[in-house]
Each structure stands twice: as C-alpha cells, then as structure tokens.
Amino acid sequence: MNKIEIMLRRKFLIMNENRCQDIEADTKEYPRISEILVPDLGSYNGQSDTAIEPRTINLPYKEFRELVFFLPRFTDLPILSLAMEGKVTTTPFIARCIDGDDNSIGDEIFIDPQGFGYPRYKSAILGRAKAA
C-alpha cells in the first residue's frame, strides 16, 4: 500500500470569489491551486500526517476548483456525485483534476468527509511513499 503525506485543514474555504481568481492568476506563488491548502506554518518544523492512499476520483477543473476553494455538498457536483453513487461517503478519497491548463491537469487534493456530505477535512498532497 502506498502512503501519502498530508496536512489536514478543517472546513477550509475562501469566501471571496475575487480572492479565488487572484490565486488562480498567481501562478508564481500558486503553480497549482491545491497549494493554497498548504498551511503557512511559520517556524513549525513538526511532522505532517500520513495516510494510506485512498481511491482517486477524476474531476473536471470546475468541480476540482469548488472542492479546493469552497465547502460544496458532494451532491451539488454532478461528476463527483455520479462517481460516489452507491459508495460510502465516510471514507477519504483523492480528487484529481483532469482538464484545464497544464498546471491544473494532475493537480490533486485529499478529502476526508468523516461522514459528512462535503469536504470537512482537506489537504494538498505533500508527497508519496511506497509502503515497506
């Protein structure tokens, strides 16, 4: 089993659409929009969390963007809703962007709904490691 390195953020959202557009336009500081989920830790040098790599759901940029910046209900995202139909929503998953510009394609975030119908906890994927 592969492991991923994450730093979970609870109920993270950006309430201002203009701020979201600024982040999307600032490809120098945020080459991928998922990098907004990497917390500014200042002088913190502690460990990040690790998790077993869960299933991956491929999404168009529009839905991926909603998951990164906001707290949408999964049922409000048509592709994600279909991908999760009949599956337990309490288990974590990785959302992968499959369209958009070169920086967007392949961008991924870890989502842990913890039984809720929205991305209660989310994280950029900081790294991957093969389990021994």
Find out whether 9 and 126 touch, Cβ atoms under 8 Å.
no
d(CA 121, CA 2): 20
Tokens encoding 128: 């991957």
- Residues 56-114 have pLDDT tens digits of 999 999 999 999 999 999 999 999 999 988 766 678 999 999 999 999 999 999 999 98
- Would you state the pLDDT for residue 84? 86
Q: What is the pLDDT of residues 9-65, one digit of tens each?
A: 888 888 899 999 999 999 999 999 999 998 775 555 667 788 999 999 999 999 999
pTM over 0.75: yes
Residue 28: the pLDDT is 93
Residues 6+ apart with CB under 8 A from 40: none
pLDDT of residue 131: 63
